[in-house]
Structure 1
Amino acid sequence: MTFEKLEKNLMDVIQEEQAKLGFRREKIRLYYPLSTLNHLLNTEDTAEEMSVTLTGQPESMTEKLGKLTVTRRGDRFCLCIPEEGSAYVHEHFAETGFIYELIRLIGQHDCKIKDIRQLFLRYSENIHIEEMRGEDFDIMIRFPEEIGDPYCYCFRDEGCHVIYHRFLPEDYADLMKA
């Protein structure tokens, strides 16, 4: 078991939050279902076992994000990142790149799925696109593995604006099974 994938995900989510809301030195609470934590840590823990697993945060992670406080209710975990974690992400990641461009684009009132597809194509010509069934999303777009952005971005055009959610590939696969 390694915490590297969890650490990256935490920093990615903080960076996404800062792109949306701006930086503020503050505690950040992120909520994860047990299944996602198992995907991130490559474990098959029960909720009780995961509570124990998360107490073993490596120094390499706590040096950057601080010591995470972990609470849970059933199979839902709250990871509270101290103020130094939000500051670390702000100080070490430039406010440029794909996630910043995506959030700016989606923030435009006239944003369409075709505009989002064009943004992805500016970063890679080899994007993967899937039309989605169901009511939640219209389309999923993801980059090839070599780009280093592991997420599946799911979009829905609600007429007057586009909404999105990004999933780990494993969580996306679970979503598609449901």
Structure 2
Amino acid sequence: MNSVNYKRLEKSLTDVIQEAQLKIGYDHHPITLYYPTESVARLLGTPEEDADNTEHALASLSAHTADTLGAIQVTRDDKRFCFHISAEGTQYVHEQLPDPAFLRAFLQVMRGLTVSFDDILAVFHQFSDKVHCEKLEGNEEFDYLVYFEDGTPDSYRYCIKLDDDGDAVYHRFTPEDYAAFGF
């Protein structure tokens, strides 16, 4: 098997934990995260069409996360992997990782009673001059794609949907997942 990129998966897991903690607060409990098998393969650099190979690579994940997230229990069903992260792992994220200032500001705007796209875009521009913004024509799920062109402060692709009542929803994808989903 080629070199497996555990760091990318660990970064994704910690990013999702931080996002959850910003949304609902930190409560020193374990967390369970679900990822599509293809996303895990892309993060690890294993062949997407070989879920068994990806599962085999995940058997060594806890050895790579012992000092940060601790032992991660991984299970698999036919379409996704489930990552069970201990309370100690979520505590590590809460206490040891730097504050995700952009994500905090972004979520603050998204929680507003009414959300405008200008307000959302202003948060991106508050953190970088290199912001890509694209209207997603013909896409029923999302209206806009926004991301930082140089990957700073993060490399996620933010897909945003606005409705007429001033409500907004988003999903953030890795660049590879965004490309694979073919928006």
> Where does the alignment leave 5 or more consecutive residues of structure 1 unmatched?
none
Q: For residues 95 and 159 of structure 1, do their structure 2 counterparts lie closer, same or farther at Cα, with a shift above 3 Å needed?
A: farther
- Aligned counterparts, 1:68-79, within 5 A: 68-79=72-83
Residue 46 of structure 2 aligns to a residue whose secondary structure is coil
What's the counterpart of residue 165 of structure 1? Answer: 171
Q: TM-score, normalised by structure 1?
A: 0.93
* Alpha-carbon distance between aligned partners in 2 of 1:20 and 1:87, rounded to the nearest angstrom: 16
Residue 153 of structure 1 aligns to a residue whose secondary structure is strand
Corresponding residue to 1:111 among 92, 115, 133: 115
**AA aligned opposite 2:47:** E
1:19 aligns with 2:25: no
Q: For residues 147 and 162 of structure 1, do their structure 2 counterparts lie closer, same or farther at Cα, with a shift above 3 Å needed?
A: same
Corresponding residue to 1:91 among 95, 119, 132: 95
> Where does the alignment leave 5 or more consecutive residues of structure 2 unmatched?
none
Higher helix share: 1
8 Å Cα contact 1:66-1:84 kept in structure 2:
yes
Percent identical pairs in the alignment equals 34
* Alpha-carbon distance between aligned partners in 2 of 1:158 and 1:40, rounded to the nearest angstrom: 32
Which has the higher mean CA deviation after the structures are superposed, 42-51 or 21-30? 42-51
Q: TM-score, normalised by structure 2?
A: 0.91
* Alpha-carbon distance between aligned partners in 2 of 1:114 and 1:104, rounded to the nearest angstrom: 14
- Runs of 4+ deviating beyond 6 Å: none
Higher relative contact order (CA 8 A, sep 6+): 1
Which has the higher mean CA deviation after the structures are superposed, 54-63 or 77-86? 54-63
Count of residues in correspondence between the two structures: 177
